[in-house]
Each structure stands twice: as C-alpha cells, then as structure tokens.
Amino acid sequence: MSLDKRMLDLGTEPAAGPRPNFFDDPAMDRVWDVLVALTTELAVTRTRLDSLERVLAEHDCVPTDAVEQWQADEKTSLTQAQAQQEMLARVFRGLAQDVPGKS
C-alpha cells in the first residue's frame, strides 16, 4: 500500500509562523519534529485506549481477549489504513518540509 498523495500534501503544508531551531543542524530539527509528533500521537492513543478499556471493563462489555480475536471486515480495514496514512503524514511532516528543491 502506498501513501495517499493528498494526505502527504496535507501533512507537508507549511506551519504558521517561523520554525523554532533547537539544533545547529536543520536536519536534526526535522528529526526532532518527527519524534515529537510521533510521541504526541502515541500518548494520545494510549490515553484513549486506556480510557476505552476501563469503560468496557466497568460495564462488563467484552471478554479480555476480544480485541485479539477480532477480524476486521474490508470496509474497516480500508478506514484503518486511511487513518494510518493520515497519521504517517502528520508524523513525517517535519522531514518532508524544507527539503531542498521542493516547493
């Protein structure tokens, strides 16, 4: 599966305002941007997952191995793949910006 061009374009739009510089090497700043974006994505996901698991457990809604046993249908698989592409565009935005020769 390839990254959707529209999502890549969306994730590479210039940020508003000047970019902060943390390192002498601009490439390191782009790697830092990726690290921060990925860490933020993971933190939000973990919080939401923990909240969902607690709600389900409190209401005795699903057995503990329900997620491991579940199989996605085609529509769900496509929706999840699109969400993954959008996240990748956000995560790698810092590396895709300011690339020499790219306008």
Domain edges within the chain: 27-64+72-103
pLDDT, one tens digit per residue, over 50-87 is 899 889 988 999 877 788 789 999 999 999 999 999 98
- What average pLDDT does the chain have? 83
pLDDT at residue 3 greater than cutoff 70: no
- Closest C-alpha among 38, 7, 6, 15 to residue 98: 15
Considering the entire predicted model, what is its pTM? Answer: 0.55
Q: In angstroms, rounded to a whole number, what is the distance separating the alpha carbons of residues 35 and 41?
A: 10
H helical segments located in the chain: 5-11, 26-58, 66-69, 74-91, 93-96
